[in-house]
Amino acid sequence: MSEATNNTPPGAIFELRQAKTLLDETLASLESQKAILKQRGMSLPPTVISTLAGVQGELRKLEDQLVDEQTELSQLRALAQMASQITTTLDVDKVLDETMDIVIALTRAERGYIVLVNQETKELDFRVVRDDTFTLRGYTEGTRPQISNTILQHVLTTRQPMLADNAFQDERLQGNVSIANFALRSVLCVPLLYRDNVVGVVYVDNRLQAGIFTEREKNTLTAFANIAAVAIANAFLYAELQQIIDEITQVKVLMDNVFASIGSGVIAGDAENIVQTFNRAAEKILVRSAETTVGKELSEVLPRIAADLGMYLADVRKTGTPHTIEGEFSSLERRIAVSLKLTPLKDADNNTRGVAVVVDDVTEQVEHYQQLRTLENYLPKGLAERALELSNIDLGGERRDMTCLFVEVRPMTTLKDVPPREVMEILNEYLSVATRCIHETSGVIDKYMGNEVMALYNTQLNPQDNHALLAVECALLMRDGFLEMYKQQGINPDPHYYRVGVHTGIATMGNVGSLNRRDFTAIGDTINLCKRLEENAESAQIIISQATRDHLEAFANGATIPYRFAPLDSITPKGKTQPVQIYEVFRL
């Protein structure tokens, strides 16, 4: 019995093979009876055996046709299964890996590869490999499977499948070294096309047999490649979307952390004034949770603070102009004063899409102001009046002739290898020396700026006719104080760390900020020039301007000034055209 019968193929093929077996047995029987009939003077009709032989040939052709159709049907069923798998999962590598096994089985290929093209670098990525002599696990940079690069590039360039049923004799591949070196016989390569873009190829070959692949395998593999290309594109798109989602999530987390860490309350309302953002500081200041606030109208969140809030919100959206509102409300424990700054939220086209409300708790400042007014009843008149005068200065201040001092107590470059905690401790020691000298000469400390201090003389708080003398004396006291510190610490910096700039001129001094929260400071060219003097000073130098020397001499009124002045090269401050004469000052 034949192999086909032993395997009992299903349906028509099985019945056809049964009929073929019966016909073979009949022909064999007739051949064996032919001689016997001849001895008896009998013979078979002359066309019987030839006719049966013709029928036998037709049965073979029919069998081959049915086998081909059955094979093609199996391939189509497998293709449908591949499509189902690929379209129901985004793990394209897993699906392609399993599908490659099916492709090799259906095409009877010896080896198979799915090669993708990097769209940016155009390099080839062997995503799936079926090769007993080469696996991805053994892949190292600079090596690749032994397949014909000519065939790969031909398919990538022409975007057409390539079938070589006998690669050695194929005219298209004559003279190709890789075909001979790799002993390639049957080769089939089809492109992976997605929206007119070549994303890669599917390649199978057989190094032992020629004619393994036919048009049927080419059509099947082309259909598979079309499905695989869609799956690959979907997977890449999904990966890109996932990356975008991850980036958006990271930005949102960052923004949430930023909003949570801001000291001011931040409330964001949309175009309908519905609260979309309510940070932790806003919860604390307004004594309400974000859970019960987000989704509510701004007028419900801030009704006790400003009755005309709706009018301000409408004006901000209409004109795009910020507004500041100050008010107060009562909580269960105390009365809270707040400052609200309303700012328009605009899109990329500069269209207002909502309103941001920044809330600051100014209760402490308001209480401080009220306490300051009460001091008139308890403090000596002169001190109370001076403190009240300072607090009542209008925003914009008052222009006065004054002297400014800037000192860098120690360069940060000398502390670059010191741990941060120790840096703070060291700077505080140096700043303490500078602060003591400023207080001894009745100066006003305007601000600390890391390793620098800004001091003012002859402000509304410390009116002084000899302000230039006091400022220069402060600088020299600092020199003495720093030298004493060096001695105590057992260091001898060369040059000394400090550098000081002193300048006299007109400056505007007063309060900056808002009605309930302000700082006293000085601004103007005098302050800027003084800072330039300090920046131009070398270590261990105390530099004063010509204006400061002129004020010292005018106040001395002909008397001997207890200082020595060493002229230095003049400087031209930024934004100015006239040079300024400067001096290094020493005690006599």
pLDDT band at 456 (very low <50, low <70, confident <90, very high): very high
For helices 381-391 and 363-374, angle between their N-to-C axes, nearest 10 degrees: 150
Which stretch, 130-144, 224-238, 334-348, 507-521, has highest mean pLDDT?
Answer: 334-348
Residue 29 confidence (pLDDT)? 74
Residue 180 confidence (pLDDT)? 46
Tens digit of each residue's pLDDT (9 = 90 or more) over 479-496: 999 999 999 999 999 899
Q: Which fold has domain 89-239?
A: Beta-Lactamase (3.30.450)
Pairing of strands 542-545, 499-513: parallel
H-run or E-run covering 518: strand 518-523
| Ordered DSSP codes for 387-414 | HHHHHTPPBT-EEEEEEEEEEE-S-GGG
| pLDDT beyond 80 at 547 | yes
User: CB atoms < 10 A from the CB of 360, how many?
Assistant: 20
DSSP letter (8 states) at residue 415 = G
* Structural Rg of the chain based on CA atoms: 47
| pLDDT beyond 80 at 344 | yes
Which stretch, 248-252, 389-393, 444-448, 561-565, has highest mean pLDDT?
Answer: 561-565
H-run or E-run covering 147: none
Give the CATH number of domain 395-587: 3.30.70.1230
| pLDDT beyond 60 at 504 | yes
Distance (Å, whole) CA 170 – CA 222: 21
| pLDDT beyond 50 at 384 | no
pLDDT band at 441 (very low <50, low <70, confident <90, very high): very high
Instruction: Kindly give, in sequence order, each residue whose CB lies less than 8 Å from that of residue 74, ignoring residues fewer than 6 positions away.
Output: 106
State both tokens at 585.
């000052």
Residue 78 confidence (pLDDT)? 65
Question: In 124-196, which ranges are continuous DSSP H helix?
Answer: 149-158, 177-181
- Kindly report the average pLDDT of the chain as a whole number: 79
Residue 177 confidence (pLDDT)? 47
| pLDDT beyond 60 at 339 | yes
Distance (Å, whole) CA 152 – CA 184: 14
| pLDDT beyond 90 at 174 | no
Give the CATH number of domain 262-361: 3.30.450.20
Tens digit of each residue's pLDDT (9 = 90 or more) over 288-312: 888 888 998 887 887 667 667 778 8
Residue 408 confidence (pLDDT)? 97
Residue 21 confidence (pLDDT)? 76
Longest CA–CA span in the chain (Å) reads 169
Residue 513 confidence (pLDDT)? 63
Best CA proximity match to 485, nearest among 440, 448, 438, 433: 433
H-run or E-run covering 447: strand 444-449
Do residues 539 and 503 touch, judged by C-beta distance below 8 A? no
Residue 168 confidence (pLDDT)? 46
Write 167-176 long-range contacts (CB < 8 A, 24+). Answer: 167/210, 168/210, 173/148, 176/148, 176/150
Question: What are the start-end ranges of the E strands in 67-156?
Answer: 111-117, 124-130
Distance (Å, whole) CA 378 – CA 141: 86
Question: Which residue has better confidence, 322 or 545?
Answer: 545
Distance (Å, whole) CA 305 – CA 312: 13
Best CA proximity match to 232, nearest among 330, 86, 106, 349: 86
Grouping H, G, I as helix, E, B as strand and the rest as coil, residue 586 is strand
| pLDDT beyond 90 at 436 | yes
Question: Which residue has better confidence, 146 or 213?
Answer: 213
- Whole-structure pTM value: 0.39
Do residues 293 and 313 touch, judged by C-beta distance below 8 A? no
Distance (Å, whole) CA 574 – CA 121: 50
Residue 487 confidence (pLDDT)? 95
State both tokens at 551.
């004020």
Question: Which residue has better confidence, 256 or 325?
Answer: 325
pLDDT band at 407 (very low <50, low <70, confident <90, very high): very high
